[in-house]
Amino acid sequence: METIVIAEDHKLILEGYLMLINKIGDLEVVGSASDGEEAIELIEQHRPDYLILDLHMPKVNGLDVMKHINDCFLSTKVIIISMFGDSSIHRQVVRLGAKGYILKHSDSEEFLLAIDLVRNGKSYYSPAIFEEQSKVKIIPGSTPVVPMANLTSREKEILTLIAQGYTNKEIAEKLHVSHKTIDSHRTNLMKKIGVRNITGLVKYAMANGYDV
């Protein structure tokens, strides 16, 4: 049976998560933590398949817990729970390998959906996250979802890296091109897709099956 650890410092919320996960049947909760230090201890002890992680934990925050998981080369898949949908935080958790990110006010159906998708090798990032960020602004007369064929292979590659949270400078170094070249590609991507910000690019990438 697959295992899961829950890291949540609010007792009532934790009890709600436990109740929902117990309904799944073939997923065993092997521990619950009320702070980041305890979460790390439980992860090292049980090496669970999955971790439900509150981003804003006492003692050690969720980002540092994820960094620890990466440093130890653990295969635990993380679903982040947060009160906020801040775009910079979203990019960080994606870069650190989070497979899911939902907001605390999400309903039980979305919570269970995120777990189910992650267990099936997919990712889930709540649409509410993008709604809380500066809303995607569509250029008048454009089509919100652009056919994949309209993007070049290089544009698809850059879009994937943008959606994974890399900065323009990091993408330039990774692809061995100039920062100016990446700036130009990003501008062209926004025009083709019909959005005016990074959030719009990320939302498009997720909607069209990019590896984010």
For residue 143, name the pLDDT band (cuts at 50, 70, 90). very low
- pLDDT the model gives residue 130: 61
pLDDT 10s digits, 19-71:
999 989 899 999 999 999 999 999 999 999 999 999 999 999 999 999 999 98
pLDDT cut 70: percent of the chain above it: 85
**C-alpha of 126 from chain center:** 9
Angle between helices 198-207 and 87-95 (to 10 degrees): 50
For residue 192, name the pLDDT band (cuts at 50, 70, 90). confident
Residue 200 exposure: Cα atoms within 13 Å on the Cβ side: 21
- pLDDT the model gives residue 131: 57
- pLDDT the model gives residue 85: 66
Tell me the pLDDT of the chain averaged across its residues: 84
- pLDDT the model gives residue 175: 93
**Domains of the chain with CATH codes:** 2-132 (3.40.50.2300), 148-207 (1.10.10.10)
Q: Which of 165, 169, 4 is nearest to 76 (CA)?
A: 4
> Is the pLDDT at 127 greater than 80, yes or no?
no
Of 197 and 32, more confident: 32
> Is the pLDDT at 84 greater than 90, yes or no?
no
For residue 134, name the pLDDT band (cuts at 50, 70, 90). very low
**3-state SS string over the chain?**
CEEEEEECCCHHHHHHHHHHHHCCCCEEEEEEECCHHHHHHHHHHHCCCEEEEECCCCCCCHHHHHHHHHHCCCCCEEEEEECCCCHHHHHHHHHCCCCEEEECCCCHHHHHHHHHHHHCCCCEECHHHHHHCCCCCCCCCCCCCCCHHHCCHHHHHHHHHHHCCCCHHHHHHHHCCCHHHHHHHHHHHHHHHCCCCHHHHHHHHHHCCCCC
Q: Are 80 and 56 in contact (CB under 8 A)?
A: no
Lowest-confidence segment of 45-49, 81-85, 104-108, 189-193 by average pLDDT: 81-85
Q: Are 99 and 78 in contact (CB under 8 A)?
A: yes
- pLDDT the model gives residue 74: 86
> Is the pLDDT at 141 greater than 60, yes or no?
no
